[in-house]
């Protein structure tokens, strides 16, 4: 490479770093440092955003659940808005323990997710209701299916929009099978295992009848748990739940006709009814926000610098997930 090309390369690199540095400084200048250094008067773990004014000693907490329910740690370098399981459970704890919070509304917009994660949220909701005797309403967004309905079942009241997709009561487990493709292209799989069923659901061969029976028994057990959650939460008979729970989705209006939801309406409607029914007319309505940390600042800055390309984030999340098949309370289109 001649001298001129080296000079051009150095100049281009300098301009790139100068541009990145300028955007980083711009992000710092435009960041809301007032809220960053805002010290709360209490020991709450999360900042509170007031969405409806009222008495600060009488509050309704709105907690949002967006995205697939799974216990993976989202990268804060590019994306700070994906579902964070531990943080969501912490928000539930915060609302339960806060003596000034007298009602909780979960805004649910999810196709469901992991069996264990959904059960953890469900159990936390039941715990809060029993230990703190606080009413919990659910307001469904575009989708509150499968695991989304599992966590909604124990709520005191469920709201849905007419067009909400809910239901999808059931369990699913899937994997790929590349056996024919491998045979056609001469690909060999070398598997060394300690037991007959160690490679159950292997992608390199057909599933045996015994393996299918083993997995079906597991799915049936998980489905029975799902059914019982609805029997307990909605006070419906098991036969009725199993009749409705064939995996199909329902619109909000269909779900109301089948007693899977109580009311049709928006989040505002849920707030209004909670105030009326729970005598919280002067309550302040708040949403929890994650308090400031350096990861969030850097995450926001990197998003500003490189853009919020959803395909990149999706690929990154996909690569981070475990490739092993898992049972899911998940509505998949």
Q: What's the CATH code of the domain at 242?
A: 3.90.226.10
Residue 324 lies in a domain: yes
Residue 160 lies in a domain: yes
If you search the block for the tokens 């057990």, which residue do you land on? 221
Residue 249 lies in a domain: yes
Helices (H) and strands (E) in the chain, counts: 12, 11
* Residues classed as catalytic: 146, 198
CB 101 within 8 A of CB 95: yes
First CA to last CA distance, the chain: 53
Crossing angle of the two packed helices 85-97 and 115-132, in degrees rounded to 10 = 10
CB 264 within 8 A of CB 253: yes
H or E element that contains 263: strand 263-264
Q: Is the pLDDT of residue 291 over 90?
A: no
For residue 174, how many other CB atoms are within 10 A of its CB? 11
pTM, full prediction: 0.79
Q: Is the pLDDT of residue 30 over 60?
A: no
* Mean pLDDT value of segment 56-85: 79
Measured CA angle at 148 (ends 145, 152), to 5 deg: 120
206-218 per-position pLDDT tens digit: 999 999 999 999 9
Q: Which two tokens stand for residue 159?
A: 């709201």
Of residues 315 and 288, more confidence is placed in 288
Q: Which two tokens stand for residue 227?
A: 């059914």
Please report, rounded to a whole number, the percentage of residues in the chain having pLDDT higher than 90. Answer: 63
100-130 per-position pLDDT tens digit: 999 999 999 999 999 999 999 999 999 999 9
H or E element that contains 102: strand 101-110
Q: Is the pLDDT of residue 61 over 80?
A: yes
What secondary structure letter does DSSP report for 69? B
Of residues 99 and 295, more confidence is placed in 99
What secondary structure letter does DSSP report for 290? P
pLDDT in the model for residue 259: 98
238-247 per-position pLDDT tens digit: 999 999 999 9
Residue 295 lies in a domain: yes
pLDDT in the model for residue 8: 57
What secondary structure letter does DSSP report for 190? -
Q: Which two tokens stand for residue 168?
A: 């999808």
Tell me how long the chain is.
Answer: 333
Q: Is the pLDDT of residue 297 over 60?
A: no
Question: Which span out of 40-44, 198-202, 266-270, 319-323 was modeled with the highest average pLDDT?
Answer: 266-270
Residue 26 lies in a domain: no
CA proximity to 254, closest of 160, 154, 327, 191: 160
Q: Which two tokens stand for residue 189?
A: 């799989």
Domain count, the chain: 1
pLDDT in the model for residue 177: 86
Q: Which domain holds residue 143?
A: 31-330
Q: Is the pLDDT of residue 33 over 50?
A: no
pLDDT in the model for residue 10: 72
Q: Distance between CA 247 and CA 145 in Å, rounded?
A: 10
Q: Distance between CA 253 and CA 247 in Å, rounded?
A: 17
Residue 23 lies in a domain: no
46-55 per-position pLDDT tens digit: 899 999 999 8
The mean predicted confidence, pLDDT, of the chain is: 84
Residue 21 lies in a domain: no
Residue 198 lies in a domain: yes
Q: Is the pLDDT of residue 197 over 80?
A: yes
If you search the block for the tokens 């690909």, which residue do you land on? 187
pLDDT in the model for residue 14: 66
* Mean pLDDT value of segment 155-168: 98
Q: How confident is the model at residue 38 (pLDDT cuts 50, 70, 90)?
A: very low
pLDDT in the model for residue 308: 46
């Amino acid at each position: 490479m001649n001298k001129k090309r080296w000079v051009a390369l150095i100049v281009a690199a300098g301009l790139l770093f100068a541009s990145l540095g300028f955007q980083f400084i711009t992000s710092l200048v435009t960041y809301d440092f007032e809220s960053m250094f805002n010290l709360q008067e209490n020991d709450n773990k999360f900042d509170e955003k007031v969405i409806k004014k009222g008495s600060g000693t009488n509050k309704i907490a709105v907690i949002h659940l967006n995205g697939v329910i799974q216990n993976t740690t989202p990268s804060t370098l590019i994306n700070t808005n994906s579902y964070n399981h531990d943080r969501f459970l912490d928000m539930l704890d915060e609302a339960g323990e806060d003596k000034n919070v007298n009602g909780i509304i979960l805004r649910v917009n999810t196709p469901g997710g992991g069996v264990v994660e959904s059960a953890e949220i469900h159990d936390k909701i039941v715990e809060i209701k029993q230990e703190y005797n606080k009413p919990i309403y659910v307001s469904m967004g575009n989708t509150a299916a499968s695991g989304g309905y599992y966590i909604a079942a124990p709520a005191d009241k469920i709201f849905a929009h007419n067009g909400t997709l809910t239901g999808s009561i059931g369990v699913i487990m899937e994997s790929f099978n590349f056996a024919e493709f491998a045979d056609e292209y001469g690909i060999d799989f070398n598997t060394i295992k300690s037991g007959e069923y160690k490679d159950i659901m292997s992608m390199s061969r057909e599933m045996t009848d015994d393996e299918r029976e083993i997995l079906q028994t597991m799915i049936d057990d998980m489905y029975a748990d799902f059914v019982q959650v609805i029997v307990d939460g909605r006070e419906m008979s098991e036969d009725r739940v199993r009749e409705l729970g064939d995996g199909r989705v329902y619109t909000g209006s269909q779900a109301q006709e089948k007693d899977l939801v109580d009311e049709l309406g928006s989040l505002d409607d849920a707030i209004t009814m909670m105030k009326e029914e729970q005598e919280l007319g002067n309550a302040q309505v708040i949403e929890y926000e994650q308090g400031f940390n350096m990861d969030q600042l850097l995450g926001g800055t990197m998003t500003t610098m490189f853009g919020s390309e959803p395909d990149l984030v999706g690929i990154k999340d996909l690569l981070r997930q475990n490739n092993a098949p898992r049972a899911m309370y998940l509505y998949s289109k």
